[in-house]
Amino acid sequence: MFTGIVTALGTVAAIEPLGNGKDMRLTIAAPWADTASIALGASIACSGCCLTAVELHADRFIVDASAETLACTTLGTWKVGSQVNLERSLKVGDELGGHIVSGHVDGVGKTLSKTPENGSIRWRFEVPRDIARFIAAKGSVAIDGVSLTVNDVQDNTFGVNIIPHTASVTRFGTLVPGDAVNIEIDMLARYVARLGETHLAETR
């Protein structure tokens, strides 16, 4: 589990095909001073996707991504040099600064626009219609692993505001319209919708 509070901006240092070439091994350089304290097999959110550390080094870690993960997230488009939002898994007692994030990407969204708005930037994203219904104004959403508050919703698009600090410590600093992003809907929204569907089916 994660909170959607990115703690480091990593960089893809190497990409190596695995097995039949459909899976990939990714080496991610991380600026953490305490990389050695990460346990082998630990979960690390990489731009919102929960991945397992299979090798650890002083300034980088290595993860494997299956063909399914590559097809359902933005990981399949990563190249050497791509920036990655990083967050280590939540420990009991840690401050919960964002919202509960599982690291299970629900779909890939498209960056539509960025517009200056007072001291921040209003970003607009388009998402697949099957997950758009879970996104509500003033609710939470994780974009590339960043916990954000939804400002407005229009059909299958929504807007969020990014302050300068967030842009400086996440991939939002280099994001441009047209870029794909990993979207994870709020876990509470998912279960409320499911309960509503179950109740409706039972009353028919």
Please compute, for residue 158, the number of CA atoms within 13 A of its CA located in the half-sphere on the CB side: 27
Give domain status of residue 3, yes or no: no
Number of structural domains found in the chain: 2
The helix/strand/coil state of 111 is: strand
pLDDT digits (tens, 9 = 90+) for 132-181: 999 999 999 999 999 999 999 999 999 999 999 999 999 999 999 999 99
Do residues 182 and 113 share a domain?
yes
Size of the chain in residues: 204
What pTM does this model have?
A: 0.91
Do the Cβ atoms of 158 and 141 come closer than 8 Å? Answer: yes
CATH code, domain carrying 158 = 2.40.30.20
Do residues 38 and 71 share a domain?
yes
pLDDT digits (tens, 9 = 90+) for 179-190: 999 999 987 766
Confidence check: pLDDT of 201 > 60: no
Residue 77, Cβ neighbours under 10 Å: how many? 11
Domain of residue 41: give its range.
8-88
Where does a domain end: 56, 88, 120? Answer: 88
Phi-psi region of 162 (alpha: psi -120 to 50; beta: other; left: phi over 0): beta
> Six-digit token pair at 155?
């059909």
Give domain status of residue 93, yes or no: no
Do residues 71 and 131 share a domain?
no
Do residues 83 and 112 share a domain?
no
Residues 56, 27, 69, 178: is their CA dihedral positive or negative? positive
